[in-house]
Structure 1
Amino acid sequence: MRKRILVFSLFATLFFSCSDDDGPNLEAVPPRLLAEVAPENDEEIQEFLQTHFYNYEEFTSPPAGFDFKIVIDTIAGDNADKRPLSEFVDNVDITVSSFEHGLEVEENDIPHRLYYLSARPTNDEVASLKAAGTCPECFPTVADSVFVRWEGKLLDGSVFDGAANPVWFDLARLQDLTQGFRGFTEGMPFIQRGENIVENGDGTVTVENFGVGVIIFPSGLGSFNALSASIPQYSPLIFTVDLFTLNNTDHDGDGIPSIEEDLDGDGYLYNDNTDSDSEFPPLANFQDGDDDGDGISTREEITDEDGNIIRPFPDSDNDGVPDYLDPDTN
């Protein structure tokens, strides 16, 4: 997620081939289908979950000085009796379409399964908090910015990047699949933020009860067929994450939180574009300061003469469409 791994090629992989009669030439290998790769990746992930464990005993009964870092290891030898990750994770299905990866062959709404584990608090505790609705601000949405410490790995344990000290990530921008890490964004709402951040004066911070979790997802929610020196094509990815805090966002500064600009409520911000026929390049509503393209800014259409935001948003012609989404109202 550092700049050096965010830039991916959207072109087909090129391989050199040669024969006895001809010199070297380039052979274009077309991308594989999402519908073909997704179940293969899921099999790889499930095998990983069944053959690996994390240090759940330390999280259940923390020893003195425990750093609350997740350690994943193979179930074998002295660890043969450990409970597999498969007993601790939950999952959610997220659809992906070919246009999101810039693929030529059209595929729509292909399901991809993401697995997540909250080690502190546990998945069950997270589910209870969410169901009770007692602390919605404790969990990020896919539109928020998060202050996290993280490490990214392949299933074979190879580390491709990470941050030992916390950094800010804009989850909405990471949800754009050209970034290669949509799965990171989709998994973060299942991890709880910490409390009482204290700056230590040396560039580090201390945070109480920060959330600790793991997010595992298939390549369709990652970089898929993109070329990278550190992430092979079609590779599932694993992220261990410590969530310190979060900020709610309004990316276009129009007065509407970005998560509220997910009009269809599907959790994907980039397919909500009210004036897509009038823009080039098209901008999703959360990026667009004039959501209906009528020449009047969204902020102007939702505020009174003193600049205060009016809720519910004004609907001058009472047609059920707020003025800021209705190009016929100005």
Structure 2
Amino acid sequence: MKFNKVFFLAIVFIVMVWSCKKDDDGIVYEPPKALSEIVNLDNDSIVKYMETHFYNYEEFANPPAGFDYRIVLGKIEGDNADKTPLSEMMQSETVTVRSREIGLDNDKEVEHTYYYLVAREGAGESPTVADATYIRYEGLLLNGTIFDASTVNPIWLEYTNRIRGFSVGTQHFKAGDNIIVNNDGTYEIENYGVGLIIFPSALGYYSGTAGSIPSYSPLIFKIDLMTVDEADHDNDGVPSYREDLNGNGYLADDNTDLKSEEKIQTTLVPNFLDNDDDNDGRLTRDEISDADGNIVFPYPDSNNDGTPDYLDPNY
């Protein structure tokens, strides 16, 4: 399984697919477990991991000659019994996960905590949750199994190629600087950000499986963030991060013309993939541009009702 080939809609599908098992009567389909059943189990597993593992912080603090600025994880035992655990170094944030996002037919919301470590800050800009990132990464389970990696050559990852925990986590790092583009299209980048993300299964694949990742698996990602490219997935002139209207870092639940799409029973398209966000027949780009085609910001609000024209079907 290559992480960069896991598309956004495929992720939504995966978490909605029910797991199954056989019994004497044939196949019994089991719906995903409730978020409330898993959230504390995941967090307990993550906290236990952080309390019993460390990273090579001493090398980052005093880099030896030829140090490659790669995170190395180890267990606190034996010769490493005196190491400072990750639990004393990592920071945390919470995000709200709605049951519908992981394939359950209810509107329950549960807060989930993810953890991140900035081993080297980086000298460039931080990405938003929606931006494309040029990145090296290694994905691990809590038992140390590597399920995917691109550790030699960086690759571009779009928002639509990433799971939610990866997107919210990478926004805490900074890209590099002094970017040199080689003739073969590769990059040489200095002072890039290096870090670690650990997040619960609801920010990953939850009840779904992907390659060697079992159901309900918290995930670890080592990150080398090389550079960032602001994304506009529908090319409507509004950067994708600005289409996160409710500010929850999850672009799929922002859909201004949801009711009109439901009424005509068409495909539901979130704003960041919709070039006519209010479905009024006028392209978003036209509603945020002046007569010369230049985008105007703040975006025009012709009737001064507090809603920009491109989100206002009544304008």
Q: Settle same-fold status: TM greater than 0.5.
A: yes
* TM-score in terms of structure 1 length: 0.87
Distance in 1 separating the partners of 2:89 and 2:147:
25
Check the 8 A contact 2:288/2:310 in 1, yes or no: yes
Which position in structure 2 is the counterpart of 1:54?
A: 55
Letter aligned with residue 50 of structure 1: E
Check the 8 A contact 2:164/2:204 in 1, yes or no: yes
Letter aligned with residue 117 of structure 1: L
Which position in structure 2 is the counterpart of 1:17?
A: 23
Distance in 2 separating the partners of 1:29 and 1:306:
57
Which position in structure 1 is the counterpart of 2:155?
A: 167
**How much is the aligned-residue C-alpha RMSD, in angstroms?**
1.9
**Displacement of 1:203 after TM fit?**
6.8
* TM-score in terms of structure 2 length: 0.91
Which position in structure 2 is the counterpart of 1:248?
A: 230
Check the 8 A contact 2:32/2:103 in 1, yes or no: no
Letter aligned with residue 96 of structure 2: T
Distance in 2 separating the partners of 1:287 and 1:229:
28
Alignment of 1:111-122 (within 5 A): 111-121=111-121
Check the 8 A contact 1:199/1:205 in 2, yes or no: yes
Letter aligned with residue 55 of structure 1: N
Check the 8 A contact 1:150/1:239 in 2, yes or no: yes
Which position in structure 2 is the counterpart of 1:151?
A: 138
Pair 1:317 & 2:299 matched: no
Letter aligned with residue 142 of structure 1: V
Residue 312 and residue 227 in structure 1: after superposition, are their counterparts in 2 closer, same or farther (change >3 A)? closer
Percent identity, aligned pairs only? 48
Alignment of 1:1-330 (within 5 A): 1-3=3-5, 8=14, 10-18=16-24, 25-104=26-105, 106-121=106-121, 138-164=125-151, 165-171=153-159, 173-174=160-161, 181-200=163-182, 205-279=187-261, 280-329=266-315
1:234-284 deviations in Å (ceiling 9; x for gaps): 010000010000001111111111111222223222222111112221211
Residue 62 and residue 44 in structure 1: after superposition, are their counterparts in 2 closer, same or farther (change >3 A)? same
Distance in 1 separating the partners of 2:293 and 2:4:
38
Deviates more, 1:218-227 or 1:7-16: 7-16
Deviates more, 1:47-56 or 1:219-228: 219-228
Secondary structure, in 3 states, of the residue corresponding to 1:256?
Answer: coil
1:73-102 deviations in Å (ceiling 9; x for gaps): 000000000000011100001111111122
Residue 4 and residue 304 in structure 1: after superposition, are their counterparts in 2 closer, same or farther (change >3 A)? closer
Residue 154 and residue 295 in structure 1: after superposition, are their counterparts in 2 closer, same or farther (change >3 A)? same
1:123-175 deviations in Å (ceiling 9; x for gaps): xxx8xxxxxxxx9x71000110000000000000000001121001112x246
